[in-house]
Amino acid sequence: MSAHYNLKEQKKQLRAELLARRRSISADEKAQLDGKIVSVFTSLISYRFAEVLLLYYPRPDEIDTRPILAAALAAGKKVALPRTLADGRMDFHLIHAEDDLVPGTFGIPEPRESCPKFDPETAGRGVLMVVPGLSFDHSGYRLGYGKGYYDRYLENREIATAGLVYSDFVTPALPRGRYDLPVHFIVTEKGVTSIE
C-alpha cells in the first residue's frame, strides 16, 4: 500500500472524527467560543493593518466568521470571499455587503460572478487571509476538508494567513503531504500563536 494512500486514509478518518466532535459542541458553547475567537482575531495587529481581508463564509458547524465580515466592512477594509471553479480551484471576489452573496458550491454562499475579482499579484502586502480548518497543529499545518482549494490558491503566493480554531482542536502534529502549507497565525478562544 502506498504512503500516499495511507496519508489519504489517515486524513479521511481523522476528518470524520473531528467533524463529529465539532458537531457535538452545544449551540450555547459554540456561540461563546466563536465570540471569543472573533474578539481575539479582530484585535490582531495583522488584522487592524490589513487593507484586504480574504475571508470564508462559514458552514453551520464552523466558527462563525460573519461578525468578522461585518466588522471588516464597517472598518472600510476590502473584503473578498472565494468562488469555487470547476477545475478544483477558486478565486476571491470583492464584496460590499452580505447581499453580494448567492448560494454556491457545497451550498455555501459565494460572491456573485459579477463581483470584481481580487488580484493577489497587484494587492501589495496589506492582505490577510483567514483559512478554514478542522484542526491545526503546533507547526501551523491544518486538516481541511480534503479538496485542496486553499493549498492550490496559496501555492507560490506571499499572503499572510490565519487559522481560526477551537483550542481543543489544536494538536502537536497532523498528518501532512508535500502540498500542504502552514498558516502564519493560529487564533483560538485563548489567544494567538504565531508560527515561526
Tens of pLDDT, residue by residue over 24-47, are 999 999 999 999 999 999 999 999
Instruction: Give the pLDDT of residue 3.
Output: 55
Instruction: Give the pLDDT of residue 97.
Output: 92
Mean pLDDT of 148-175: 92
Query: Range with the lowest mean pLDDT among 119-123, 172-176, 189-193?
Result: 119-123
Q: Is the pLDDT of residue 147 over 60?
A: yes
- What's the pLDDT band for 2 if we cut at 50, 70, 90? low
Cα 166 to chain centroid distance, Å, stands at 13
- Indicate which CATH number applies to the domain containing 144: 3.40.50.10420
Mean pLDDT of 93-110: 91
Total domains in the fold of the chain: 1
Q: Is the pLDDT of residue 78 over 60?
A: yes
Q: Is the pLDDT of residue 137 over 50?
A: yes
Domain membership of residue 42 as a residue range: 3-194
* Pairing status of strand 191-194 against strand 185-188: antiparallel
Assess contact for 50 and 130: CB atoms under 8 A: no
- Nearest residue to 139 via CA among 185, 84, 102: 185
Instruction: Give the pLDDT of residue 1.
Output: 46
DSSP string, 43-112: T-HHHHT-SEEE--PPPTTS---HHHHHHHHHTT-EEEEEEE-TTS-EEEEEESSGGGEEE-GGG-EEE-
Assess contact for 64 and 189: CB atoms under 8 A: no
> Is residue 42 helix, strand or coil?
helix
